[in-house]
Amino acid sequence: MTTTKLSPEELTKGDFTETSKPFELFGEWLEDAQGAEINDPNAVALSTVDEDGLPNVRMVLLKGFDEAGFVFYTNLESAKGRELLSSGKAAMCFHWKSLRRQVRVRGLVTPVSAEEADAYYSTRPRGSRIGAWASKQSRPLESRFALEKEVARYTARFAVGEIPRPEHWSGMRLAPVSIEFWHDRPFRLHDRIVFQRRDVSNAWTKQRLYP
């Protein structure tokens, strides 16, 4: 697969020196990434903390965003799901190496509605819907055969008709209180702009940071 090379003019699309709308700028940068990244331009590192305050980080896929926040999906009984539900806080980091750009997000996390989760779940491939039932995510697995056995069991159970969404599988929405945009510049004199607000009901403020 070949990547699309952006011109210098295209690389400055979404320049953040004038904008006061972080979600609009993020949308422009994500659109650029979709034309430049080979795999998963919507991949993002998600950071949480466990009950001892020890951080965890892993890659997830962003499945949607708007002014309300950034949405991803998970098994709520996994380590990730338990940590999100326990603390109600998380951070994200998007890194698009081909564009030399990064976006960091911090904020509060809440579950999406059942209706929203059902709507997204229905768009997933049938095998992925089976997998949501078969996998006891993050818990010990005695062998690969044991997982395949569970997949076979649920494949037989849902041999015909629709596959309902498991109650333990749903989406989470990160409502940001901070969004930082980073753009590589020569000699490590990078551009950094952070948008912040006290809570989701407040207006954004914008601040340029030293690189």
Catalytic residue numbers read 188
User: Which pair of structure tokens corresponds to residue 109?
Assistant: 């996390």
Distance CA 77, CA 177 (A): 26
Q: Would you say 194 and 179 are in contact if contact means Cβ atoms under 8 Å apart?
A: yes
Distance CA 160, CA 74 (A): 25
Q: Would you say 44 and 60 are in contact if contact means Cβ atoms under 8 Å apart?
A: yes
Nearest to 179 by CA among 33, 35, 29, 72: 29
